[in-house]
Amino acid sequence: MKICITGGAGFIGSHIAEECVKKGYEVIVFDNFSTGKKENLSFVKNFPGSSLKIVKGDVADYKAVSKAVKGCNAIFHEAAVASVQKSIENPPATFESNAKGTLNVLEASRNNGVTKVIFACSAAIFGDHPEIPKREDSPVLPKSPYGADKYISEVYLRLYNELYNLTTVSLRYFNVFGPRQDPSSPYSGVISIFTTRIAQGKDITVFGDGKQYRDFIFVKDVVQANMLALEKINSGFHYYNVGYGKATDLNTLIAILKKIYNKDIKVNYAEARAGDIKESVTDPSKIIKELGFTPGYSVEEGLRILVESLQ
């Protein structure tokens, strides 16, 4: 099987690449290296005889995408400017990578005999609509150009299935964390900040009462969701929320990290920041029922692995 992974040198993409290499697939990593790093692909030395080719290119460049995906059976489309903040600062620039980039990947698939596209969508499509937990058909209300780009991408996934019979799967990731994550990631920024400060024995500041929660999911379980989509879905357009369905609030996160580091850290509580989403958690029943998704890690186990990787 020949697989192309756009954004394959990034945090999540490199873990997907690692699993594909482990399975003996021929892998093409297509990345512009804006946040991705070659070091994220250094796992390849543990798999002698494996096939991993790196192509430097931009998903906004149709010709480059088209050339890279020729002969591939499937694409994991992870490439994006993964920053809500950047998308608010410069919507047109983010649109190039995040919306036009997806359209290019779909069009290149249609024109080059690729049969399946699995897309990294995001819980950001839901914005701060109050319905909790988020189900697949919960109201979509993006609050940023990033969320809007992810949603329009998903609409194109559906259209490319209906119009051109391309098999498409949208995986709406919740808050992914794990080794190789850029510490400035807007998603699990809080995990990076807390781990760094606790490791240095410094105080932590929490905005609000610390009861705001997220559905944190360890990256290896996101890889599992992607592999299930690759192996089990062979037709149609499908969309799944990808999370544990478990709310972890900031106070719990701090308690777990204190335990892992075995350090007692002072926690300061400051006024809540305007615009912060208070609650985000999914109901993962659909992906469990339809694809047999079985998370292999708890948040605590994932955090232990992350802390180990940082030491």
Ligand X SMILES: NC(=O)c1ccc[n+]([C@@H]2O[C@H](COP(=O)([O-])OP(=O)(O)OC[C@H]3O[C@@H](n4cnc5c(N)ncnc54)[C@H](O)[C@@H]3O)[C@@H](O)[C@H]2O)c1
Tell me the two tokens of residue 45: 């030395």
- Pick between residue 18 and residue 58 the one whose CB is nearest to ligand X: 58
Q: What's the CA gap between 16 and 96, in Å, rounded?
A: 24
- What is the per-residue DSSP string for 25-60? -EEEEEE--SS--GGGGGGGGGSTT-EEEEEE--TT
Instruction: Report the nearest approach of ligand X to the CB of residue 67 (Å).
Output: 13
Return the residue matching tokens 């807390």: 194
Instruction: Report the nearest approach of ligand X to the CB of residue 95 (Å).
Output: 11
**Cα atoms in the Cβ-side hemisphere of radius 13 Å centred on 294:** 1
E strands along the chain, which residues? 2-6, 26-31, 51-56, 74-77, 116-122, 167-173, 175-177, 204-207, 213-214, 216-218, 237-242, 248-249, 267-270
Strand partners, 180: none
Instruction: Report the nearest approach of ligand X to the CB of residue 185 (Å).
Output: 6
Q: Is-contact 78 5, C-beta < 8 A?
A: yes
Instruction: Report the nearest approach of ligand X to the CB of residue 35 (Å).
Output: 4
- Pick between residue 93 and residue 267 the one whose CB is nearest to ligand X: 93
- Pick between residue 138 and residue 175 the one whose CB is nearest to ligand X: 175
- Pick between residue 112 and residue 258 the one whose CB is nearest to ligand X: 112
Q: What's the CA gap between 270 and 253, in Å, rounded?
A: 17
Instruction: Report the nearest approach of ligand X to the CB of residue 129 (Å).
Output: 17
- Pick between residue 173 and residue 293 the one whose CB is nearest to ligand X: 173
82 CB neighbour count, 10 Å cutoff: 27
- Pick between residue 80 and residue 169 the one whose CB is nearest to ligand X: 80
User: In the complex, which residues of this chain contact ligand X (CB under 6 A)?
Assistant: 6-7, 9-13, 31-36, 58-60, 78-82, 97, 101, 120, 122, 173, 175-176, 182, 185, 187-188
- Pick between residue 132 and residue 265 the one whose CB is nearest to ligand X: 132
Q: What's the CA gap between 66 and 76, in Å, rounded?
A: 14
Instruction: Report the nearest approach of ligand X to the CB of residue 32 (Å).
Output: 4
Instruction: Report the nearest approach of ligand X to the CB of residue 263 (Å).
Output: 26
